Structure 1
Amino acid sequence: MNAQPMSRRMALGAGLAVLALPAWAAKERTTVQVWKDPNCGCCKDWVAHLEQAGFKVTVQDIGNAATRKRLGMPEALGSCHTAEVAGYAIEGHVPAKEILRLLREKPKALGLAVPGMPIGSPGMDGAIYQGRKDAYDVLLVAKGGATSIYQSYR
């Protein structure tokens, strides 16, 4: 086989591979910084959910109480992990699609929160829960701590 046709085929294959990449891969991925307890399994599952949605995630296994306070997230909205993305605070098991929406819409807000640990939310949806899905709300948190429903999951 002639080397020139092979290199052309390889170049064509590489070009097609680039076209097949997801949209987020064409540009730099958005980084989400997460603070969590090192032993929390649901936090690890939530991180995996974000990575599957195309986010680059860095994790600090030092707990999240100090970060929640530093970011100004009200304690009453607390959960097992706190994150920061593009200047927004993310508290708890917020679905990646709502974070993407937040980044697209860019509201003047502190961030998003899913208080507690609702079963069926990302990271709280493992096999142990046998498909159970509790209703929950993703809250938009204003800089002063007031909340409004950003998205309901029923």
Structure 2
Amino acid sequence: MPQSPVPDPLTFDLPDEAATAALAQRLAPLLHVGDVIALFGDLGAGKTAFVRALVNALPGPAEEVPSPTFTLVQTYHRGELELWHFDLYRLEAADEAWELGLEEALAEGVSLIEWPERLGAALPAERLEVCLQHAGEGRRASLYASGAWQARLREWQEGLA
């Protein structure tokens, strides 16, 4: 599950897909060029639903956001941001991610990475981890922040109170 050294996650119970979307929509304004969101979770845990809501919460017309399971990467231009949605489930080796444009995404866009554990040591240390787990009929999201994400998430959490 999470690889971040941050010990205390923010945890949210998500009773349905609408709650997952609401969490993504609240996080969307925090995004900056160079950000990495690592999405951990079993199949069907809601990773793609989270990304879909995040992408469509940013400026621009609503668009379909399919799972890139077979294409491995999809890009979206939203306002000033270019979002790269990676699904690394089918990767056989971490270095295959570079062929998908990961280096460019890390430098010039926002990287939304499903199955980030496939990157091993290549997963950037500074990231927001969104860990989605099945919890009864719904899901539970745990957010782990490192680097600049720690201050952003702390400030964001204070705004929720």
What is the TM-score when the length of structure 2 is the normalising length? 0.28
What is the TM-score when the length of structure 1 is the normalising length? 0.29
Higher relative contact order (CA 8 A, sep 6+): 2
Larger Rg: 1
